[in-house]
Every structure is written in structure tokens, then in C-alpha cells.
Amino acid sequence: MAKLTRRGALACGAAALLCGPALAQQGGRTMRLVVPFPPGGSTDALARMLQARLQDMLGQTTIVENMPGAASALGAAHVAKSAPDGMTLLVTFDSHTVIPAMVPNPPLDIERDLVPVSLVGTAPYVVATNRDKPYRTFADVLAAAKARPRAVTYASVGIGTIGHLAMTLLAKRAGVEITHVPYRGGGPAMNDLLGGHVELLCGSIALVAPQLGGQVRTVMQMGAQRLPMLKDTPTAIESGFDGFEALAWWGVFAPAATPADTLARLSAAVREALSERQIATKLQESQQMTLLLTDSAAAIPFFARQTKLWGDVVRENNIKA
């Protein structure tokens, strides 16, 4: 009798779990993972890791489709309108919960038309500066902003992104004015921070981490606890902003009408795929991601809180795309 390897055992176990009619091979049909952003970003990288593992586990052809547009609403709406049969999933990022507030006449209701499969993980946003600038703590930033209203500048990866909204909320709570300089993506924003053209950058730790130890240092992180790699950088809570968190997150969603048994199988598949040691390690190292890999029910309240928190910031500050 052939010896069953650990990998083979996992695959067999996953296949047994996922062999319900909605997820069995469906006459040559292809499972599609829709990414509502261009290729190359962290969400695209996550989707491609998931695609390879799901295809291996299920024996089901699985592809990644990049469908950018309308601040990620285009891809999200496409998935929401797809057949609820477990064959089309959305793999997305934190900007998803800002769609209702930022996109005029959004093509979907994100809470009504989609259901979470899993909250994959989170990572904190950070405030970083060029080492040639005088800021070592966020208190230094606030002091400069009070002395020179609107003169202190910060970059984000775009209007209405969590980096932009987090700094808007912090400035409002501190009673200062800091000038936002939006960019089309993390690369250009980081380049201008390195070049000294902006004084600060508010972005995910995944964007900032490759530059640490060089020309960039962090002045504040926005998770509830300090990251091990940023053990000397205070959190926003430690810096006097009680209860403040700004998190990058990655999640997987399905059409809202997906049957409960199919949703449970999808959630189990995604969680098993991303728990694989090599993939988990890569996500933790490349994105500084805290893996959560929740089931559907556990993800719902998190996304609801994020939608309300950042939607309120958009509306109260009249932020327009």
C-alpha cells in the first residue's frame, strides 16, 4: 500500500470537507478569485497564494481576475451579482469598507450584497518620516502643526484611503491642521518621502517596512499593541489617542445569497489554504500581517465596525473622491 504523506493527508481531508455539490468540480467550470485592484499589490499577492493552494486542494481550476475601478467597487459589484454557488469570490483590502461613503451611487450595498468568507488578517498603519526631518515622536508632529498650521505635509496612497482618513481623524482629535498630499499608490508616495518632498507618510506597515533601517523611521504605529519589529515606536493609544486604531486588513467575500453550507465549506477551504506554513510565514513576513483566519460569523462585526468608523470620518469631514 502506498504511504500517505502529510501533504496528501491534508489534501484528502480538505477534499472530503469540500466535496459538497456546490464546491465539487462542476463540469469543467473555473473558480474565480476577483481582486478589485491592479496586479502587483498586497491583495493581488494574497489572491495568487490562495489560488495556487485552492487549486491544489480542490482539483478545481482556479484563476485570479484583476478588476480595478471605482475605488474597488467595480470588482466588488461583479462578485455580488455573480451566481451564489461558491465559484466566484472577492479577495479585497481595507478600502472595501469605505465604498458606501466614498463612491457616488455605489453599484452595491457591501453589507447587504456580500457576505464575508473569512477575515484573513490585519496589520497596523504607521506614520513614518524621512530621517532628515526633525520628527521623532508624534508629539513632535503635533507641535510643528500647531506652530505652523497647514505647513506640515503627509502623503497617503490616495483620497479616502485609510491612511488619509486616519490622519484626518487624528488631526481633528488633536485640534491641528496637517496638509494631505494624495498619491496614486504606495511607490510614488514613498519615493517623495525618501526625496524629502513630503514630511510624513501614513501607510500600512507593509509599505513602510522595506525602508526601515535606511532613510525612513516611524514615529507612531496604529495597532492596539506594538509590533515586534517596531518595539520602540509608540502606538496611537500610547501617544494620547485613547482607543484609536487604524488597521490594514485583507478579507474574502462571497455573494450574499450563498447557501450556509457552501459558505462554511468556502471558509474552511480558505482558512486551511492560508494556514499552510509557507504561505502563513510569507504573509507574516512580507505584510507584517497578524493572521486571524476567522469564519464568516466572526468576520461580520469587524467589517461592520470598520464601515461605520471610516464612513463617519468621510461624511463628517466632507471628503470627496
Model confidence at 180: pLDDT above 60:
yes
Q: Report the percentage of the chain scoring pLDDT > 70.
A: 91
Model confidence at 217: pLDDT above 50:
yes
Q: CA–CA distance from 49 to each of 46, 54, 119 (Å)?
A: 5, 9, 16
What is the average pLDDT across 260-271?
97
Model confidence at 21: pLDDT above 70:
no
How would residue 18 be classed by pLDDT, with cut points 50, 70 and 90?
low
The predicted model scores a pTM of: 0.89
What is the average pLDDT across 244-272?
97
Model confidence at 10: pLDDT above 70:
no
Nearest-angstrom CA–CA distance, 126 and 189: 14
What is the average pLDDT across 176-201?
96
What is the average pLDDT across 103-115?
96
pLDDT reported for residue 235:
98
Weakest-pLDDT range from 69-73, 109-113, 293-297: 69-73
The fourth-level CATH superfamily of domain 123-230 is Periplasmic binding protein-like II (3.40.190.10)
Residues 130, 283, 113, 61: is their CA dihedral positive or negative?
positive
pLDDT per residue over 133-160, tens digit each?
Answer: 999 999 999 999 999 999 999 999 999 9
The amino acid present at 243, given as its one-letter code, is: G
How would residue 27 be classed by pLDDT, with cut points 50, 70 and 90?
low
Residue 199, exposed/middle/buried by CB under 10 A (0-12, 13-18, 19+)?
buried
Model confidence at 9: pLDDT above 50:
no
The amino acid present at 89, given as its one-letter code, is: L
pLDDT reported for residue 16:
45
Nearest-angstrom CA–CA distance, 42 and 290: 14
pLDDT reported for residue 41:
87
Q: Please check whether the two domains, 19-122+248-316 and 123-230, share a CATH topology.
A: yes
Q: Which residues lie closer than 8 Å to 212 by C-beta, 6 or more apart?
A: 218, 229
CATH tag for 19-122+248-316 (out of 3.40.190.150, 3.40.50.720, 3.90.1150.150, 3.40.190.10): 3.40.190.150
The alpha carbon of residue 175 and the mean position of all alpha carbons in its chain are separated, in whole angstroms, by 28
Each domain of the chain, given as residue ranges in start order, spans 19-122+248-316, 123-230
Model confidence at 7: pLDDT above 80:
no
pLDDT per residue over 46-62, tens digit each?
Answer: 999 999 999 999 898 99
pLDDT reported for residue 3:
40
**DSSP class of 26:** -
Mean pLDDT of the chain: 92
Nearest-angstrom CA–CA distance, 273 and 264: 14
What is the average pLDDT across 284-289?
92
